[in-house]
Amino acid sequence: MPAYVTLIPLAAVRLSLKNKTSSFPKFLYLGIGGYVLFLIMCLLAIHYYPGNFGSKATKDLGTGDLTLDMYGWKEAGKQFDSIYESDINKGIMPKGSPVVCYKWWGAHQEYYFCRPRGIQMIGLGDMNNLHEYMWMNKKRKDYVNFASAYCIEPSDELYDVYSQYHNYYNQIDSVATIKIARGDKPAHDFYIYRLTGWKNNLPVVQ
């Protein structure tokens, strides 16, 4: 997106040369009006469309619906906070347990699930998938207890959690499912896993 910003002055020069009689031609009104209408329709779809535009299957609920990237995450984060707090209080998980991800878009989970409670997000995977988390690991590793961790898997972004993290933890258990509805119909779910038995295999940039 930043690259396109530099093209705006060029477009403005072109329009000023093409339209000598009007500083704001009709097609700009139409373009702006269409853009505003599109935004309104998107917002209505994101917040009020019942269910989802994608898969209705139980396991991969919501797959194919891009509007779910902007719906239900804050609510799901609050529910995860209750699970995390309960496990810490019961001694099931140690204090400082992180949430792990294997791709850079774990940043979405970090923003809604981790930051509100001060939980650290740790990347477990290779450089091609983790991107900035390879560097963040080095900064964060001294603030977490790697003995156990959580993994959050959105139903519309399914992957094999067991094969992805078996190089890092000995045991991976499914512990909860957070269900998110939109318009009183199922929209998407978040599968919560507990990882235990740390193998001391943190990927970091040397």
CA-based radius of gyration for the chain: 22
Q: Mind listing the pLDDT tens digit for each residue in 124-160?
A: 999 999 999 999 999 999 999 999 999 999 999 999 9
- Cα–Cα distance for residue pair 28/119, rounded to 1 Å: 47
| Sheet strand arrangement including 99-101 | 121-123, 99-101, 148-154, 185-198, 169-182
The predicted structure's pLDDT at residue 146: 97
More confident residue, 68 or 4: 68
3-state secondary structure of 36: helix
Q: How confident is the model at residue 1 (pLDDT cuts 50, 70, 90)?
A: low
This prediction's pTM:
0.86
Is the alpha carbon torsion for 100, 104, 105, 111 positive or negative? positive
Q: Mind listing the pLDDT tens digit for each residue in 64-122?
A: 999 999 999 999 999 999 999 999 999 999 999 999 999 999 999 999 999 999 999 99
Q: How many CA atoms lie within 13 A of 12 on its CB side?
A: 5
